[in-house]
């Protein structure tokens, strides 16, 4: 079934107009599900939001019974919606009711709909909710429809993360994206530390998600990729890494990822759906992170750090920022840095002891990939973290 209203780019433009309107959060969500249903010729479009109690609440729907909104609540692993949320992967079914995970909720009236397409609403690899479309006819949704729904879910992720939907929630049942988290670190040395604390890898803030000029965005992406690859080539030619060693192995792995055609193809596909180059990088990065975090293979999970760092470097190329500018700017003022936790939020405090104190232990020092950079590598003992110190040279 083809989109009736011009595809994902037209949908994104209409969503941008809806996001800019001065309406209540509920009215905005209601308009969004109507737009998605009309664009995808779907009889049902629903948004489920993950709450801080690890349940999924129906926040808006077009097609299901209106009285089910804010009343239908599923556990994080319940039904098809719970399966999409827990696995953080899309689910495309021609006959939803025949799936073993199907959970019947009579208050929704969804028993008359057979086909089901659900995608996770992801941000920085974390699941914030689930976006679903349904039809009466038994059919599998095509790749174009899946791409459109995933792109739309990215816009919804920013709406949820903004905190606007918290006004619709009961106290203690707010969206999980706004739940404050406490990070507990390991004590490396007893005592008190005073100083300025900065995020080791500050999150790049994306201001525009929807592309105005698609050819321009593709050119921006190609230029940034070329510059990223050229920078890695120059670092490999530096005197302190040209002779080999484990730090060269790390850079070689980065260069391999940067030149991977599959990664480049995914980025270009994301831009083609109507996203800006920055938004495309974030979407691919978030999807990859969600999949790799759920992998039981320790090698694949370890490669996540390399791919995430590469994605952030590409993002900074696009927005014109140096790598970890805050860490460099304050390096002379503090000996403490916060390591990025991947979600853009506060992370563990990591004291930076002098190199001579760290070299013989679990932390090993290697020449910076770029000042402020951090990487894990498979060589050496498992679990060893090698840190590039970002203090002044």
Percent over 70 (pLDDT), the chain: 72
DSSP 15-76: HHHHHHS---HHHHHHHHHHHHHHHHT-SEEEEEEEBTTSEEEEEEEESS-GGGTTT-EEET
Residue 185 counted as domain residue: no
Residues 155 and 281 in one domain: no
> Tokens 């290697």 identify what position?
366
Q: Evaluate if residue 278 carries a pLDDT over 50.
A: yes
- Judge if 240 and 301 occupy the same domain: yes
Phi, psi of 164 (to 5 degrees): -60, -30
Clarify whether residues 106 and 207 are in a common domain.
no
Task: State the total domains in the chain.
Answer: 2
Residue 339: pLDDT over 70: no
DSSP state of 112: G
The pLDDT confidence band at residue 178, using thresholds 50, 70 and 90, is low
Residue range(s) defining the domain that contains residue 153: 8-169
Give the residues across from 93 on adjacent strands.
116
pLDDT attached to residue 328: 42
Report whether 314 contacts 224 (CB < 8 A). Answer: yes
Q: What is the CB-side half-sphere exposure of residue 73 using CA atoms within 13 A? A: 12
For residue 313, pLDDT over 80 is answered with yes
User: Do 20 and 110 have their domain in common?
Assistant: yes
User: pLDDT (tens digit, 9 = 90+) per residue, 79-111?
Assistant: 999 999 999 999 999 999 999 999 999 999 999
Judge whether 165 and 29 are in contact, CB under 8 Å: yes
Q: Is residue 187 part of a domain?
A: no
Res. 30 pLDDT band, cuts 50 70 90: very high
Residue 291 lies in a domain: yes
Q: Which of 244-258, 266-280, 366-380 has the highest mean pLDDT?
A: 266-280
Average pLDDT, the chain: 76
Tokens of 166: 């918290």
Residue 251 lies in a domain: yes
Residue-level pLDDT at 181: 52
Summarised one tens digit per residue, pLDDT across range 32-54 is: 999 999 999 999 999 999 999 99
User: Length of the chain in residues, anyone?
Assistant: 393
- Residues 114-139, mean pLDDT to the nearest whole number: 93
In a domain, 66, yes or no: yes
What does DSSP say about strands 91-93 and 44-50: parallel, antiparallel, or unpaired?
Answer: unpaired
pLDDT at 373: 37
Handedness of CA 338, 343, 344, 346 (dihedral sign): negative
Phi-psi region of 278 (alpha: psi -120 to 50; beta: other; left: phi over 0): alpha
Confidence of residue 239 (pLDDT cuts 50, 70, 90): low
At residue 245, the pLDDT reads: 67
As beta bridge partners, residue 134 has: 44, 116
- The pLDDT assigned to 52 comes to 92
Is the CB of residue 357 less than 8 Å from the CB of residue 346? Answer: no
Q: How many CB atoms lie within 10 A of CB 317?
A: 23
Q: State whether 264 and 358 are in the same domain.
A: yes
Residue 176 lies in a domain: no
Both 161 and 282 in a single domain? no
Burial class (CB in 10 A: 0-12, 13-18, 19+), 53: middle
One DSSP character per residue, 248-303 reads HHHHHHHHHHHT-HHHHHHHHHHHHTTB-HHHHHHHHHHHHHHHHHT---HHHHHH
Question: Which pLDDT band holds residue 259 (cuts at 50, 70, 90)?
Answer: confident
Residues 159 and 287 in one domain: no
**192 in any annotated domain:** no
The pLDDT value recorded for residue 301 is 67
Specify whether 155 is located in the same domain as 301.
no
Please give the average per-residue pLDDT across 251-271, as a whole number: 85
Find residue 118's DSSP bridge partners. Answer: 91, 132
Predicted confidence band of residue 132 (pLDDT cuts 50, 70, 90): very high
Higher pLDDT, 153 or 9: 153
Same domain, 165 and 307: no
Where is pLDDT greater, at 357 or 303? Answer: 303
Q: What is the pLDDT of residues 181-224, one digit of tens each?
A: 556 677 788 887 777 766 666 667 777 788 888 899 999 999 99
Look at residue 357 and tell me if it is in a domain: yes
Q: Are 47 and 170 in contact (CB under 8 A)?
A: no
130 or 214, which is more confident: 130
Pinpoint the alpha helices (H) of 128-213. Answer: 143-161
Question: Any idea what the CATH number is for the domain that residue 358 is in?
Answer: 1.10.274.10
Pairwise CA distance, residues 293 & 282, whole Å:
16
Euclidean distance between CA atoms 344 and 352, whole angstroms:
21
List phi, psi (to 5°) of 354: -55, 150
CA atoms of 324 and 338, how far apart (whole Å): 12
Measured CA to CA in angstroms, residue 265 lies from 19, 144, 222, 261, 313 at distances of 29, 15, 11, 6, 18
């Amino acid at each position: 079934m083809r989109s009736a209203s011009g595809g994902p780019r037209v949908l994104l433009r209409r969503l941008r107009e809806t996001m800019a309107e001065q309406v209540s959060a509920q009215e905005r969500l209601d308009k969004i599900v109507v737009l998605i249903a009309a664009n995808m010729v779907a009889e049902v479009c629903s948004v489920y939001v993950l709450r801080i109690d690890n349940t999924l609440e129906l926040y808006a729907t077009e097609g299901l019974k209106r009285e089910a909104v804010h009343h239908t609540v599923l556990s994080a692993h319940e039904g098809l919606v719970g399966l999409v949320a827990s696995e953080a992967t899309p689910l495309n079914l021609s006959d939803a009711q025949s799936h073993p995970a199907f959970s019947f909720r009579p208050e929704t009236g969804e028993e008359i709909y057979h086909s089901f397409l659900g995608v996770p609403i992801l941000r920085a690899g974390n699941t914030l909710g689930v976006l679903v479309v349904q039809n009466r006819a038994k059919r599998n949704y095509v790749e174009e429809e899946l791409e459109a729904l995933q792109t739309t879910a990215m816009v919804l992720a920013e709406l949820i993360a903004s905190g606007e939907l918290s006004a619709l929630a009961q106290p203690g049942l707010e969206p999980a994206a706004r739940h404050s988290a406490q990070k507990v670190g390991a004590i490396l040395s007893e005592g008190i530390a005073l100083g300025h604390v900065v995020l080791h890898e500050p999150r790049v803030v994306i201001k525009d998600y929807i592309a105005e000029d698609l050819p321009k965005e593709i050119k921006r992406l190609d230029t940034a990729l070329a510059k990223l690859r050229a920078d890695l080539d120059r670092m490999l030619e530096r005197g302190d890494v040209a002779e080999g060693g484990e730090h060269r192995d790390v850079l070689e792995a980065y260069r391999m990822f940067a030149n991977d055609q599959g990664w480049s193809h995914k980025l270009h596909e994301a831009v083609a759906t109507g996203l800006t180059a920055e938004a495309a990088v974030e979407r691919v990065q978030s999807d990859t992170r969600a999949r790799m975090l759920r992998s039981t293979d320790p090698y694949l999970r370890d490669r996540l750090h390399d791919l995430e760092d590469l994605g952030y470097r590409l993002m900074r190329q696009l927005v014109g920022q140096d790598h970890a500018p805050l860490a460099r700017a304050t390096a002379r003022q503090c000996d403490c840095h916060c390591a990025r936790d991947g979600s853009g939020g506060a992370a563990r405090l990591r004291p930076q002891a002098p190199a001579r104190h760290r070299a013989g232990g679990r932390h090993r020092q290697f020449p910076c990939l770029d000042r402020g950079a951090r990487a894990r590598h498979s060589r050496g003992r498992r679990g060893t973290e090698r840190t590039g110190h970002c203090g002044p040279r």
